[in-house]
Structure 1
Amino acid sequence: MKLGEGVEAAIHCTMVLATLGPGETLPAAAMAEAYGISPSYLLKHLKTLVAEGLLESVPGPNGGYRLARASDRITLLDVVLAVEGRAPAFRCMEIRQGGPVKLPKAVYAKPCGVNAAMLKAERAYRAALAETSIADIVADFNAEADPRAVEAVCAFAERYRRPQG
């Protein structure tokens, strides 16, 4: 399974937003710069996260983005589904019914075994993502990452955070 680059950007931005205090925001341009991605590309994904109720967009001079709910109530699955959509990654096209040998539909009354296996894997994948919150990822990062990386993220957030308006 291949997820788009937007998933990684969305998760990282959600993580850095989780470090903000109540009412504080970060501008999209600063997050795009921090991760070396196009501001317009990032804005597309941030707007999707807002539409899905994961982030809030705050207008004005102290505006920017912040979490719409506590980081322990936002899962990796929430972010992935917001960016990639809710459809399963595998979509059975019933190709077993194609080709030069046409058999009656009744031959294929039993569900496709390939589709069943792929949907089972999708359920497991989604369950694993649903078990992990943004707060979990932030806590793991703070506990296990190189202290220089933690300091860099903290310094970035401190530099660009905008106080409550």
Structure 2
Amino acid sequence: MKMNEGVEWALHSCVNLCWIPGETVTAKRLAAFYNLPTAYLNKQLQALARAGIMSSTSGPKGGFQLARQPENITLLDVVVAIDGAEDAFRCTEILKDGPGADPTADYRKTCLVASSMRRAELVYRRELAARTIADIVAEVEQTFPQTPENTRTWFANLKS
């Protein structure tokens, strides 16, 4: 399974916004933090805004901020906002074209490959749903205690 790189960018943007609460930050400033292409990051941030994860404000003082508390934003919320809700594995019932196939069978339900992939995806989604942005923030603060202040300082000193 390959996730869109925008998922990584969106997750990091959510985490960074936790350390500058109440402030709106432009896509340009968020992109500059990791030297990302502004237009592409902006698309990811807009997707988060459409999903209700971020709010977007227009104008000279505009930008993005979290629309929900970090403990109410799961990693799955961000993944779905960026990559969509569609299952990673989609059974196309190729068994119907194999030798000895039963044309009346619903192989999406009886195929052992499809059911194994479905179980694996459920485990993956449960794990993402069980972790929040707040969990990541807490782990970063524990492992790298200087990161929140360094992040605030970086954004405070960035021009425009």
TM-score, with length taken from structure 2: 0.89
1:25 aligns to what SS in structure 2? coil
Whole-Å separation in 2 of the counterparts to 1:107 and 1:71: 45
Q: State the AA in 2 paired with 1:60.
A: G
Q: State the AA in 1 paired with 2:97.
A: G
Q: Write out per-residue CA displacement over residues 76-133 of structure 1, whole angstroms, 9 at most, x where no aligned residue.
A: 000001000000111111112225x363324666611111111111111011011111
Structure 1 runs of 4+ off > 6 angstroms? none
Pairs within 5 Å for 1:1-165? 1-22=1-22, 24-99=23-98, 101=99, 103-106=101-104, 111-145=110-144, 147=146, 149-159=147-157
1:65 aligns to what SS in structure 2? strand
Please say if residues 16 and 157 of structure 1, whose CA atoms lie closer than 8 Å, have aligned partners that are also in contact. no
Distance 1:19 1:161, change over 3 A: farther
Extract unaligned runs of 5+ from structure 1: none
Q: Write out per-residue CA displacement over residues 120-155 of structure 1, whole angstroms, 9 at most, x where no aligned residue.
A: 1111101101111101101100110273x4543232
Q: State the AA in 2 paired with 1:144.
A: T
Q: State the AA in 2 paired with 1:96.
A: L
Please say if residues 20 and 152 of structure 2, whose CA atoms lie closer than 8 Å, have aligned partners that are also in contact. no
1:105 aligns to what SS in structure 2? coil
TM-score, with length taken from structure 1: 0.87
1:21 aligns to what SS in structure 2? coil
Whole-Å separation in 1 of the counterparts to 2:132 and 2:85: 18
Whole-Å separation in 1 of the counterparts to 2:159 and 2:81: 24
